[in-house]
Amino acid sequence: MQTFDVYILGCGSATPTVRHLQTSQVVSFCGQLYMVDCGENAQLQFTKARLRPGRLEHIFISHLHGDHCLGLPGLVSTCTLLGRTTDLHVHGPVGLAQLFKPFIDAFSPPDMSFKVVYHEFNTDRPQCIYEDQALKVHTIPLTHRVPCCGFLFAEKEGVAHMRPEMMERYKIPYDKVNDIRMGGDYVTPGGEVVPHRLLTTEAEPARSYAYCSDTCYNPSIVPQIQGVNLLYHEATYSVAQQEAAERHFHSTTADAARIAEAAHVGQLVIGHFSARYLDDTLLLREAQAIFPNTVLACEGLKISVA
Ligand SMILES: [Zn+2]
Ligand SMILES: [Zn+2]
């Protein structure tokens, strides 16, 4: 099975502390790296996690609040110093390029060895913003003080695997393999029909990861994230600060857990913790009371999407 992991680079809220840095993650899928949000310390944390910059070609920015995107100019600057040659694609809400392009250009040499390519999206509806042979990324519209989207990383359905012993038994030519893996039967030179189900084993179930930060309690996202293997949902506040959560368009631990429960996700990881909490275990206990399979995000954590 191909790798599908999430690295937490930062999981604090707007004010960084000595315990938590501003938001950034990396999704590692099939050898490629996808950055999700880029808070100030993202590039240092990226290096600390021993991730390879050459494998990073796409960065997804959820919204234009500083704690989610101010690491971008520094990261691009370092890529220039390292002599990067592959273009860097940055996806974010409308307004991303207007905000960052002049600033990043001002610090880039005229003969820069790669391009920063900006891709903007509207945050009012789910849309597919990235697709390759094995992976799709959709936006998840969230409810925050500014236009904001989460991201759904969904592995594409695999195809069946050939059973080597049946290949051998029926001497199946290689040019027939693709058709059989896609669902076809095999007809021997003698006219015998060997059904697909005897020749193959089923593909592994497709996996998915949903990233939802920042947002107030928003059950309208539940259908879109239904049954994901892993959900990251912000839990900026404890249930005792419900009023503050609503005022700032953020979620409490209970909000995050209720979303996870309603969407029947495999596992919940909570983050974007307010700087006020000196002990995150309170937040964990509150979420686990509603959704037991919850873990706390922390810098350096790597979680498998399984
Ligand atoms: Zn934030
Ligand atoms: Zn925000």
Centre of ligand 2 to C-alpha 65, Å, is: 5
Centre of ligand 1 to C-alpha 39, Å, is: 9
> Which stretches in the chain have pLDDT values below 70?
none
Centre of ligand 2 to C-alpha 214, Å, is: 5
| Residue 150, SS3 per DSSP | strand
Centre of ligand 2 to C-alpha 275, Å, is: 14
Q: What is the DSSP letter of 272?
A: -
Q: What is the DSSP letter of 158?
A: P
pTM of the model: 0.92
- For residue 248, give the ligand nearest its CA: 2
Ligand 2 is an ion; its neighbours by CB within 5 Å are 65, 214
- Share in percent of the chain as helix, strand, coil (round to 5): 30, 30, 40
Centre of ligand 1 to C-alpha 128, Å, is: 23
Q: Which of 67, 214, 255, 280 is catalytic?
A: 67
Total residues found in the chain within this entry: 306
Query: In whole angstroms, what is the distance from residue 120 CA to residue 286 CA?
Result: 37
User: CB count, 10 Å around CB of 25?
Assistant: 29
Torsion, Cα of 179, 32, 296, 286 (10° steps): -50
What was the pLDDT predicted at 15? Answer: 87
What was the pLDDT predicted at 127? Answer: 97
Query: In whole angstroms, what is the distance from residue 123 CA to residue 143 CA?
Result: 10
What was the pLDDT predicted at 158? Answer: 87
| Residue 284, SS3 per DSSP | helix
| CA-based nearest residue to 32, from 134, 113, 168 | 134
67 included as an active-site residue:
yes
In this predicted model, what pLDDT tens digit does every residue of 5-50 receive, in sequence order? Answer: 999 999 999 888 889 999 999 999 999 999 999 999 999 999 999 9
Centre of ligand 1 to C-alpha 165, Å, is: 54
- Are 227 and 263 a contacting pair, CB within 8 Å? yes
In this predicted model, what pLDDT tens digit does every residue of 205-238 receive, in sequence order? Answer: 999 999 999 999 999 999 999 999 999 999 999 9
| CA-based nearest residue to 48, from 87, 15, 77, 21 | 21
Which of left, alpha, beta for 18 (phi over 0: left; psi -120 to 50: alpha)? alpha
What was the pLDDT predicted at 124? Answer: 95
Centre of ligand 2 to C-alpha 70, Å, is: 12
Centre of ligand 1 to C-alpha 131, Å, is: 26
What was the pLDDT predicted at 286? Answer: 98
What was the pLDDT predicted at 180? Answer: 92
Centre of ligand 2 to C-alpha 66, Å, is: 8
Centre of ligand 2 to C-alpha 13, Å, is: 8
- For residue 274, give the ligand nearest its CA: 1
What was the pLDDT predicted at 306? Answer: 86
